[in-house]
């Protein structure tokens, strides 16, 4: 079955109560048992069931199962935000003295988070993940994990996903792929050997800028029997569940960044149209980048769909489409703030993956705090404007960019 046929019927097939077409929003914080022995069995993990809403509830379980299906994974745990998924997972599985390698091309808050890890005794080395060799050069005796994004924001670098997957398998490293920019519709990290997949559900999967959420999906590919930081009481049953169980207990339960049931419902409904939205948004991004490439007011367009993009071939092989996000550097005579102000349809804001097209001057906003030196290493010029393209009709977007650039 196709992507959409599969996911839109998945709730129903798992038997929703009362034949309800949606999984209901369960707002109950706690779940009761007639038999106190049953309650004890659920607490001890000997029986499936719900206890307290900070850990999971039926609405969240339905969404988790849907993400697992989308990612062709083994199991999923949802969080309040994408950042909570990243932070909680890493804190639950790394210890002081461990080392991790991260792509240097990162979502701004992930970069900020990784910079704080040093204060907890966890060292993070940054490497140009478009080259597997650059990642290999950073490997140390105590390296535990490699973290990359598929298409990085805002300059759209595409990580060497296949080769890094092979490197991680060769060296026994946990391979974490943040799939937010591509979504499981364009790319499944399990296909390149990822151990874990991260998705910010706030972005394309939810898709309507009305709910925050994040998810971690276990692919079942990593042999956790060799991983040192797991507590003995989580090392029971199927080995591929050990690490995610520790993330659920030591991470989600103890840190408490739980996804709200109402948000889970919004995200689940939004995700039904992921494929349709991605098709339209990616087609729009292609049309716009073709128009902007070589436009007299535009110095440079960064989009993996363009033939002059350094990882154009790689993106064409790996991804169904090269994404719906691109960045533009304007010629010196055009002020990036004026350009954004001239756009009528495109909304000036942060966020990405909305149904609406969004634009933002990144050096002056989301990447401001990291300072000019780190921005330079990430290739973020002061005039760079990032666009997350939505599902408007292509002609309307083309007309808007055309009039905003004037001549």
Ligand X SMILES: *Cc1c(COP(=O)(O)O)cnc(C)c1O
- Interface segment toward ligand X; rule CB under 6 A; list 77-85, 138-146, 289-297, 324-332: 77-85
DSSP string, 282-334: HHHHHHHHHHHTT-TTEEEEE-TTSTTSTTHHHHHHH-SS--SEEEEEE-TTS
Site for ligand X in 179-198 (CB under 6 A): 180-181
Contact pattern from residue 197 through residue 236 relative to ligand X, giving x for each residue in contact according to CB under 6 A and a dash for the rest: ---x-xx--------x-x----------------------
Pairing label, strands 99-103, 123-127: parallel
- Smaller CB separation from ligand X, 107 or 339: 107
- Interface segment toward ligand X; rule CB under 6 A; list 76-84, 97-105, 356-364, 393-401: 76-84
- Interface segment toward ligand X; rule CB under 6 A; list 125-133, 175-183, 236-244, 249-257: 175-183
- C-alpha 152/C-alpha 371 separation (Å) is 18
**CA dihedral of residues 250, 253, 259, 262 (deg, nearest 10):** 160
Q: Is the distance from CB of 327 to CB of 156 less than 8 angstroms? A: yes
Q: Is the distance from CB of 110 to CB of 85 less than 8 angstroms? A: no
- Smaller CB separation from ligand X, 201 or 292: 201
- Closest CB 80 distance from ligand X, rounded Å: 8
- Closest CB 69 distance from ligand X, rounded Å: 20
- Closest CB 340 distance from ligand X, rounded Å: 20
Contact pattern from residue 122 through residue 151 relative to ligand X, giving x for each residue in contact according to CB under 6 A and a dash for the rest: ---------------------------x--
- Smaller CB separation from ligand X, 144 or 386: 386
**CA dihedral of residues 62, 63, 67, 69 (deg, nearest 10):** 20
Q: Is the distance from CB of 106 to CB of 149 less than 8 angstroms? A: yes
Residue 178 is a binding residue for ligand X (CB under 6 A)? yes
Residues 79, 81, 85, 87: is their CA dihedral positive or negative?
negative
Binding site for ligand X (CB under 6 A): 81-83, 107, 110, 149, 153, 178, 180-181, 200, 202-203, 212, 214
């Amino acid at each position: 079955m196709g992507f959409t046929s599969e996911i839109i019927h998945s709730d129903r097939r798992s038997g929703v109560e009362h034949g309800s077409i949606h999984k209901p929003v369960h707002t109950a914080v706690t779940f009761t048992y007639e038999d106190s022995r049953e309650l004890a069995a659920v607490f001890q993990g000997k029986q499936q069931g719900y206890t307290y809403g900070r850990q999971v509830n039926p609405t969240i379980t339905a969404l988790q199962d849907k993400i697992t299906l989308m990612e062709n994974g083994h199991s999923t745990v949802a969080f309040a935000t994408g950042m909570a998924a990243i932070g909680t997972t890493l804190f639950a599985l790394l210890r002081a003295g461990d080392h991790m390698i991260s792509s240097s091309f990162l979502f701004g808050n992930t970069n900020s988070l990784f910079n704080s890890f040093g204060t907890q005794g966890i060292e993070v080395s940054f490497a140009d993940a478009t080259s597997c060799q650059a990642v290999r050069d950073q490997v140390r005796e105590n390296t535990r994990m490699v973290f990359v994004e598929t298409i990085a924001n805002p300059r759209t670098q595409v990580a060497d996903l296949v080769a890094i997957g092979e490197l991680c398998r060769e060296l026994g490293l946990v391979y974490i792929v943040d799939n937010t920019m591509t979504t499981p519709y364009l790319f499944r990290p399990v296909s390149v050997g990822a151990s874990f997949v991260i998705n910010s559900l706030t972005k394309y999967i939810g898709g309507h800028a009305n709910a925050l959420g994040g998810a971690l999906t276990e692919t079942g590919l990593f042999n956790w029997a060799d991983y040192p930081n797991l507590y003995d009481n989580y090392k029971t049953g199927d080995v591929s569940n050990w690490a995610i169980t520790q993330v659920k207990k030591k991470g989600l339960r103890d840190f408490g960044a739980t996804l709200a049931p109402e948000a889970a419902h919004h995200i689940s409904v939004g995700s039904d149209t992921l494929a349709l939205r991605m098709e339209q948004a990616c087609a729009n991004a292609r049309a716009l980048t073709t128009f902007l490439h070589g436009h007299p007011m535009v110095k440079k367009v960064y989009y993996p769909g363009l033939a002059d993009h350094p990882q154009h071939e790689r993106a064409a092989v790996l991804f169904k489409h090269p994404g719906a996000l691109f960045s533009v550097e304007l010629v010196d005579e055009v002020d990036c703030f004026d350009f954004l102000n001239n756009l009528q349809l495109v909304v000036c804001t942060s966020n990405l993956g909305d149904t609406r097209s969004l634009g933002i001057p990144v050096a002056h906003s989301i990447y401001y705090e990291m300072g000019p030196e780190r921005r330079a290493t990430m290739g973020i010029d002061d005039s760079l404007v990032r666009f997350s393209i939505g599902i408007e009709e292509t002609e309307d977007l083309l007309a808007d960019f055309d009039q905003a650039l004037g001549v």
